[in-house]
Amino acid sequence: MRSLRERVAHTRWRRRIAARRSLEHGYRVGVGIVGAVIVCLGLATIPLPGPGWLTVIAGLFVLATEFTWAERLLEFTKKHVKRWTDWVSAQRVWVRVLIAAATAAFVYGILVVTLHLVGVPDWVPGWVPLWR
C-alpha cells in the first residue's frame, strides 16, 4: 500500500509541477502554509464548539500530501483517535454520559470566559444570563 504522499506524487498534475524546480519549491511552500494555517485554526477552535479536532486532522491531511513527518503524525493521530473512540464506545452508558457532560461543561466554561474577556455582543437579548 502506497502512502498518501506517494499517491499524490504519482498523479499527472503533480509530476508536471515536480518537473519544474521553481514550481516545485513554490508548491511545497504553498502546501506548507495552507496546511499550517488549517492546523492553527483547528487548534484555536478545539476548546470552542465545532469541529476543532476535525480541522486539525484536515490540516495534517493537507500537509501529509507533501511532507513525510506530517504523514507520520496523521497516522499517529488517527490511531489514537480510533483507540479513544473504541474505548468510549466500550464504556457503560453512565460513563459516556459523564464524558459528554464534562465536555459540555468545558465548552460552556470556555464560552463564558471568552464572552467575559471579549464582551457580550449588543445583539444578545438582555434576558440571556451572561455578563454584560
pLDDT digits (tens, 9 = 90+) for 37-63: 999 998 888 777 678 888 999 999 999
Q: Residue 127: its pLDDT value, please?
A: 67
The residue extents of the domains of the chain are 4-89, 91-132
Spatial contact of 106 and 86, defined as CB atoms under 8 Å apart: no
Helix H or strand E segment including 123: none
pLDDT digits (tens, 9 = 90+) for 58-107: 999 999 999 999 999 999 988 998 998 899 999 999 999 999 999 888 87
Spatial contact of 61 and 81, defined as CB atoms under 8 Å apart: no
Q: Which CB contacts under 8 angstroms, 24+ apart, belong to 114-121?
A: 114/48
